[in-house]
Chain A
Amino acid sequence: DARVTQTPRHKVTEMGQEVTMRCQPILGHNTVFWYRQTMMQGLELLAYFRNRAPLDDSGMPKDRFSAEMPDATLATLKIQPSEPRDSAVYFCASGLVPERSYEQYFGPGTRLTVT
């Protein structure tokens, strides 16, 4: 049963600290997405990769957020320095685009709390 995995599931950190979230997409999927979910904003697309190449990161605050995909089995989202307003649930999703653009498989999320 293929699924997207994310680590850590929960992270509590102090303002100013670096946070790294990791994602293992489903093998064979060519596109990986990072989303942030908050009560106020809903699901926001932060960045996505196609065949490991970054295609769009316009949803991310550039000065503190960075996303990479060092290999086909690992995507990372880094926040440095973290701020309380970054507290949210961060989801990674993968899919096969454009063949099945409507179908994304989401991981369980990383719940980030910045104090």
Chain B
Amino acid sequence: QQQVKQSPQSLIVQKGGISIINCAYENTAFDYFPWYQQFPGKGPALLIAIRPDVSEKKEGRFTISFNKSAKQFSLHIMDSQPGDSATYFCAASWRGGGADGLTFGKGTHLIIQP
């Protein structure tokens, strides 16, 4: 079964700290691993994505770390800011078939305390 397991469900981090969200997958056919960010009242939006042949990708304060052998990937938010407070979804995509789209994790509700 195509599943992506995400943890923690909720996370509180002090301003300036590092937020870390973890995901694990089973299906080795997945070929792209994006993270989506959702603010209250809005739809999810693509934040950053990584391919499995890359171990790390950084965009500003956001970094994805990818461990292919462990089938795990994580999102790190450095110098977390109150504006980062949102729900974050990890996902996996599979070009070759299946749902022809994204399999989402359950989401992490992140709160950055000022």
Contact = CB atoms under 8 A, between A and B. Distances in A.
Q: In terms of DSSP, what is the predominant structure of the interface of chain A?
A: strand
Contacts, number: 66
Contacts of A106: 43-45
A12 interface: no
Nearest to B92: A102
Contacts of B62: none
Interface of A: 4, 31, 33, 42-43, 45, 48, 50, 55-56, 91, 93, 95, 97-98, 101-109
A48 B42 CA distance: 20
Nearest to A58: B99
B102 interface: yes
| 9 closest Cβ pairs, A-B complex | A106-B43, A102-B32, A101-B93, A98-B95, A102-B93, A42-B106, A102-B34, A43-B104, A102-B49
A93 B105 CA distance: 17
A100 to B, nearest CB: 9
Interface residues of B, number: 24
28 contacts: A4-B43, A31-B100, A31-B101, A42-B89, A42-B105, A43-B107, A48-B99, A48-B101, A55-B100, A91-B44, A93-B43, A95-B101, A97-B100, A98-B95, A101-B32, A101-B93, A101-B94, A102-B32, A102-B33, A102-B34, A102-B49, A102-B93, A103-B46, A103-B49, A104-B44, A104-B101, A106-B45, A109-B43
Contacts of A55: 100
A69 B34 CA distance: 27
Contacts of B100: 31, 48, 50, 55-56, 97-98, 101
